[in-house]
Chain A
């Protein structure tokens, strides 16, 4: 019974992660400008990564592998927003993005 429950949790986590990672890829293609693509690259990628890794933790149980995965999640939580912030900052300072797409309060 517990095994079935664990398997169920693993499938739920992995399918959720799959959905979010797929939406990241679709968002990267379909969204109109760099900033909106970065939204997909930050939030969906993070949620997908956390879901997949949580599924791996549930599948592995308590052990060193799970601890390693927790370390990976923490590193992901720190590095992803930093990388996105650096890209956004570079784009803003060098005006990579056409301004007509976003209403820009900074110009007022």
Chain B
């Protein structure tokens, strides 16, 4: 884990330095060693890596699916919100709802909270840790059917995140 942290921080160091030479490498090695020694014991506790090599390809595929769904939904949702912003009379029906999650780990619940906040016209407000319930504010849900569709979208993302991180 320390080696992985070292490699990642060194790569980031080269990216920020903007050039690759011996001075940058030496200084980067010293700084990244210190950082990896400090972070490796505390950082990855929240990111569990089970059977990393076994199903690496499958997880990469899921990661690609999650990221593409995320960015696609961000843009769709932004179009919807920006349409409301330019309407003569903004016509939305805001509502605060509760949604129970089946995710087990802390890291996956946090990632799903990010997924609720950015895409789909929803906003993650709070997490009830003991009951595993999200408090969600959504913007333009006018009927029960639309609410069910919205909840189904969140469940779809929840399943993908469960496959990746749970």
Contacts and interface: CB of A to CB of B under 8 A. Distances in A.
Contacts of A36: 92, 94, 139
B4 interface: no
A68 B12 CA distance: 9
A9 to B, nearest CB: 16
Of the four ranges (under 10, 10 to 19, 20 to 34, 35 or more), the interface on chain A belongs to 35 or more
Contacts of B86: 23, 26
Classify chain B's interface size.
35 or more
Given A50-B74, A64-B18, A39 B123 contact: yes
Contacts of B121: 39, 43
A42 B71 contact: no
B85 A23 contact: yes
Nearest to B16: A68
A53 to B, nearest CB: 12
Interface string A7-33: 000000000000110011011001111
Interface stretch (B27-35, B49-57, B111-119, B152-160): B111-119
Interface string A34-62: 01101110111011101000000000000
Nearest to B17: A64
B126 interface: yes
A27 B82 contact: yes
Nearest to B75: A47
B107 interface: no
Contact of A46 (B74, B79, B92): B74
Interface in B36-94: 70-71, 74-75, 77-79, 81-82, 84-86, 90, 92-94
Contact of B12 (A38, A40, A71): A71
B165 to A, nearest CB: 15
Contacts of A71: 12, 15-16
19 contacts: A19-B82, A23-B78, A24-B82, A24-B85, A27-B82, A32-B90, A33-B94, A36-B92, A39-B123, A40-B85, A43-B81, A44-B82, A50-B74, A68-B15, A71-B16, A81-B117, A81-B118, A85-B114, A104-B95
Interface of B: 12, 15-16, 18-19, 70-71, 74-75, 77-79, 81-82, 84-86, 90, 92-98, 113-114, 117-119, 121, 123-126, 135, 137, 139
